Structure 1
Amino acid sequence: MGTIKPYETAAGPRYRARYRKPDNTQTDKRGFKTKKEAQLFLASVEVSKARGEYFDPKDAMQTVGDLGPSWLENKQHSLKPSSYAPLATAWRVYVEPKWGSTPIGRIRPSAVEDWIRELSTGRAVTARQRSNQSGKPKSASVVIRAVGVLSGILERAKRDGRIPSNPAQKATNLPRKVSMKPRRYLTHAEVFRFASFAPDFTREVQLVVLSYTGIRWGESVGLRVRDVNFLRRRLQIAQTATEVEGVLHVGPPKSWEERGVPLPDFLLDPLSKLCTGKGPNDLVFAGPGGGFMMRPDTSEGRASWFLTALRRAELDRLTPHDLKHTAASLAVSAGANVKALQRMLGHKSAAMTLDTYADLFDDDLDSVATRLDEHAAASNVGKVWAHAPQRGSRSA
């Protein structure tokens, strides 16, 4: 099981336990005050080896800063640039300044929860803020993402057997994401009024397409002439052009899968005019010189053609993504079912569509009750039952 040897220190006698790791290499641990402590330690090592739960304490001395870059590289390899960029920012701004020099074996769940509180109250050490400063409280999304990065690094260390558990995995004080912004759905009339104030025909058609198909801004920007099927009235969403930190990245759609999106008849003629004279690989909604169109800046207080059109149409501030919500609303009002809406919007599941747009289906609950009432009345059973004499308890 191992050997125990005493040795002398200035503070008195101590014991050293020598044992073999699962790979059969020998190691030791020093500093036990009694022989019994050393024996209990050796016993725990044997049990952990038998269960396949052994971890080398020396491995736990690696820091978060040692393991973070490799974890990020793997994420960069597997994620799209738009998904990877927020993780890289969370690591650089929040995780590395706090935990970079901390050995992974010394991180305790309580310390992680203290960090969550500090982030939420604006008192956490970050790349932009020192420990003696008080800054702006971080949003729930920022806090959850930062904790997720730390947890991901520690989970990988746990799988490698460097630590026995992930101290960031079950934090009890993570904030909840609560949207304070009410979702805005444009009406048919508002869509066309908004589009009429676009600076040119290309962007006018683009706004209407966004509002009636639910495709994302990047998907509209990446749309090529060959992707418009006029006979079947379909847009084939095969790629997206997503702007990340001022750089456009062209790749597959968000779900990694192509999908077909239905086109209303009234959009066929305007799209045909935009495609006339272009080759199959040319962009439908091309920017200057035929290149990709950049996303308009819709931040508060900024100036862009998108915000100017909204202002002239006397509409509240929206973002291009809000037009996806409008498309969902118009589709539901036209009678689209959840499964069709899921495919149209490119959601992973119908459950995700329902969770996102539950408010749009409230009227369905009323219609269900109405139809049940109609069927019960047609059979005459419900009416007879409702007007039956008062029912008391039945005798046995």
Structure 2
Amino acid sequence: MGTVEAYETTAGRRYRVRYRTPEHRQTDKRGFRTKRDADLFLATVEVSKATGEYIDPARSRTTVAELGADWLAAKKTRLKPSSYAALDDAWRVYVEPRWGRTQVSAITYGDVRTWVTQLAAGTAKTNRQQHPRTIKQGARPKSATVVIRAHGVLASILDLAVKDRRIPNNPARGIDNLPRKLRKPHRYLTHEEIERLATASGDHATLIYLASYTGLRWGELTGLRVRDVDALRRRLAVNENAVRVGTEIHVGTPKTHELRSVPYPEFLELPIARLCEGKPRSALVFGEGVDHIQRPRASGSSRSWFVRALDDAGLERMTLHDLRHTAASLAISSGANVKAVQRMLGHASAAMTLDVYADLFDDDLDSVSTSLNAARAAAIARS
């Protein structure tokens, strides 16, 4: 048990609590105005020690920046460069400026809630602000993705503080004012529209066809090598994903780390063979075979080949990723089952495919009601 001792100060009598930590290190806390308050604190300490919930005050004075460095280092070893870059950016731009110097024990639920509100409104302090008037002159609301990611970084760092027994609970969890991410409606092309877009794309026609009929991501398309093409089975082995992070191309495994084999239509046999002609097996299918081709911009004043092709084909502005949605739409409309579509797209599960493309199964609801009506009529007729 600890002890409670009185001592005199210029402001009057105060009380000091002396006690030992679970590691048997002696420490104290002073400044209690009444003996009752000191006794209550000591009782709380003893109970927390007995239940294994004791928090060392010295460890709780750790700052978010100190824990953030360790958290980011651990993430860097596990995540793909593109995923890590997003977290690192959220930390440097949004989390560290506001919370870096704050002790983890000083953070409250209300503080985090206010910060989330300010982030969404674009008035929170960030590393992109150059002077005090930036908030007034250039405040822009942040997207739900940005706010949720920044909050997730802070909450994850504080989770680490809880596990390290620096704080008893995480004040960033359970925040009720996080914005909701609204899923953008998918853009689907018809066979005729794909034909117009491919024709308008010129030398990039085969790339447009492959994206539209196989659902490969841009990094998977540009990471294809000659050895990945099985002309006899008309299959593409998806083994690599080439993603640009900053100014560098990082080559790694596909998004879900799952290697897969994707079929391509017969009409693409000759175009793919032409791309592979004269190249060694290790060469890239697209481009000259050595360097990965750059992703074209889908908007802006640069008018990339993709933007020009969309305009020439008379199509609305879209992204190359929308061609992946088109592949899913065409596969489902042709009668492919959900499991086959999941494997083609490289989704983690068929449930994910159903969730992402629920709008493509609306017609199935009509068939359900029709089948139920027929079953009822047959059952009544037999009775």
The alignment's TM-score, normalised by the length of structure 1, stands at: 0.92
Deviations 1:331-374 (Å, cap 9, x if unpaired)? 01011111111111111111111111000011111122333444
Select 2:379's aligned residue among 362, 376, 381: 381
SS at match of 1:273: helix
Unaligned 5+ residue runs, structure 1?
386-396
Deviations 1:273-309 (Å, cap 9, x if unpaired)? 21122221111112x5631111111134442111111
Taking the aligned partners of 1:361 and 1:117, their CA distance within structure 2 comes to 37
Map of 2:45 onto structure 1: 45
Per the TM alignment, residue 66 of structure 1 is displaced from its structure 2 partner at its CA by 1.7
Unaligned 5+ residue runs, structure 2?
none
Map of 2:199 onto structure 1: 196
Answer yes or no: is 1:101 the counterpart of 2:86.
Answer: no
Map of 1:178 onto structure 2: 182
Map of 1:207 onto structure 2: 208
Q: Residue 4 of structure 2 contacts residue 35 of structure 2 at CA under 8 Å; is this kept in 1? A: yes
Taking the aligned partners of 1:120 and 1:126, their CA distance within structure 2 comes to 12
Deviations 1:253-287 (Å, cap 9, x if unpaired)? 1001101112222222221221122221111112x
Map of 1:221 onto structure 2: 222
For this pair of structures, how many residues does the alignment match? 379
Select 2:152's aligned residue among 148, 154, 162: 148
SS at match of 1:290: coil
SS at match of 1:82: helix
Higher alpha-carbon deviation: 29-38 or 151-160 = 29-38
Taking the aligned partners of 1:300 and 1:355, their CA distance within structure 2 comes to 31
Map of 2:284 onto structure 1: 283
Q: Residue 236 of structure 1 contacts residue 258 of structure 1 at CA under 8 Å; is this kept in 2? A: yes
Q: Residue 299 of structure 2 contacts residue 307 of structure 2 at CA under 8 Å; is this kept in 1? A: no
Q: Residue 123 of structure 1 contacts residue 131 of structure 1 at CA under 8 Å; is this kept in 2? A: no
Per the TM alignment, residue 324 of structure 1 is displaced from its structure 2 partner at its CA by 0.6
Q: Residue 211 of structure 1 contacts residue 323 of structure 1 at CA under 8 Å; is this kept in 2? A: yes
Give the aligned CA root-mean-square deviation in angstroms.
1.7
Per the TM alignment, residue 236 of structure 1 is displaced from its structure 2 partner at its CA by 1.1
Per the TM alignment, residue 205 of structure 1 is displaced from its structure 2 partner at its CA by 0.6
Task: Sort the Cα spacing of 1:160 and 1:131 in 2 relative to 1 into closer, same or farther, 3 A.
Answer: farther
Task: Sort the Cα spacing of 1:158 and 1:324 in 2 relative to 1 into closer, same or farther, 3 A.
Answer: same
Map of 1:255 onto structure 2: 256
Map of 1:72 onto structure 2: 72
The alignment's TM-score, normalised by the length of structure 2, stands at: 0.95
Map of 1:370 onto structure 2: 370
Per the TM alignment, residue 383 of structure 1 is displaced from its structure 2 partner at its CA by 5.1
Give matches, 1:1-396, under 5 Å: 1-129=1-129, 133-134=135-136, 135-179=139-183, 181-200=184-203, 203-286=204-287, 288=288, 290-377=290-377, 380-382=378-380
Taking the aligned partners of 1:184 and 1:277, their CA distance within structure 2 comes to 37
Taking the aligned partners of 1:189 and 1:100, their CA distance within structure 2 comes to 54
Taking the aligned partners of 1:382 and 1:188, their CA distance within structure 2 comes to 44
Taking the aligned partners of 1:191 and 1:138, their CA distance within structure 2 comes to 34
